[in-house]
Each structure stands twice: as structure tokens, then as C-alpha cells.
């Protein structure tokens, strides 16, 4: 048993730098998504999404965690919250531009924001919902 614990800790040490290098693309994409969100949503008249509703960093305040566990908790709180935040931004964008459900398949989990989308292949419903307004001449 002690061998497995030591072996597991060695694996943690080996993969930790790989895990933490993800912070670089996450921060770059975070900045880019936030620029998109803050510029385009007002232009589309889509309400701004509250970042604080998705990204919560608080577990590092727990006294019973050691230093490294606190760092991991900050990282996971940011990363998982950020991905949920992006999913909400992407979902609202999808709703605005293309409210069509995907083709039904048994192994595909439809996102919750698709519930009011037009059914796949329903041309009439799509055209009724997304009619082009006549241009002024």
C-alpha cells in the first residue's frame, strides 16, 4: 500500500507542470472571450453575463488545506468556473445566431440552452422564427 501512495505522489509531481501550463491558454482565451463578450453582446442586445455567477474562488480560505491544496483549489475554481462561463457565453451566442437543435442521436447530450431551439430539419419553423426583415430602399 505504501508503494502505491509513493507511486501516486510521483505521478502527481510529474504531471503537475503539464496541468499548470494550461493556465497560459486559459488566461489568453479568457481575455479574448471577455473582449468579445463585452463588445458584441451589447451590440446584439444580449444581456451581459455575470462572471461572478460562474467563477468562484473561495476554497483556498479553508484552514485545513495545505499550501499546495490551496493552489490547486484556486486553479480548479478558476478553470472550471471559466469553462462554465464560456459555455454560457457560447450558448447565448448560439441562441442569437443559430437556434437550431442538432440532429437527435442517442449518444449526444443536448445542451440545456437548446430546449427552445428549432428542431433539426424543421425548415418552416426556422423560416418563421428567423425571417429576414425587408431592407429599406
Residue 56 lies in a domain: yes
pLDDT digits (tens, 9 = 90+) for 4-58: 445 667 877 788 889 889 999 999 999 999 999 999 999 999 999 999 999 999 9
Residue 61 lies in a domain: yes
Tell me which residue has cell 493556465: 23
Task: Provide the residue range defining the domain that includes 61.
Answer: 50-101+111-130
pTM here is 0.80
Residue 15 lies in a domain: no
Residue 95 lies in a domain: yes
Q: How far apart are CA 82 and CA 26, in angstroms?
A: 8
Q: Tell me, what DSSP letter sits at residue 113?
A: G
Residue 120 lies in a domain: yes
Q: Which helix (H) or strand (E) holds 5?
A: helix 2-21
Residue 6 lies in a domain: no
The domain total for the chain is 1
Amino acid at each position: 500500500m505504501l508503494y502505491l501512495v509513493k507511486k501516486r505522489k510521483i505521478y502527481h509531481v510529474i504531471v503537475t507542470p503539464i496541468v499548470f501550463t494550461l493556465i497560459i491558454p486559459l488566461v489568453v482565451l479568457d481575455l479574448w472571450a471577455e473582449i468579445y463578450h463585452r463588445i458584441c453582446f451589447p451590440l446584439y442586445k444580449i444581456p451581459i453575463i455575470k462572471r461572478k455567477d460562474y467563477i468562484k474562488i473561495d476554497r483556498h480560505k479553508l484552514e485545513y488545506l495545505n499550501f499546495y491544496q490551496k493552489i490547486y483549489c484556486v486553479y480548479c475554481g478558476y478553470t472550471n468556473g471559466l469553462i462554465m462561463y464560456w459555455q454560457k457565453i457560447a450558448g447565448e451566442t448560439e441562441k442569437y445566431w443559430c437556434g437550431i437543435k442538432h440532429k437527435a442521436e442517442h449518444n449526444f447530450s443536448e445542451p440545456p440552452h437548446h430546449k427552445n431551439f428549432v428542431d433539426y430539419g424543421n425548415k418552416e419553423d426556422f423560416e418563421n422564427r428567423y425571417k429576414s426583415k425587408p431592407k429599406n430602399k
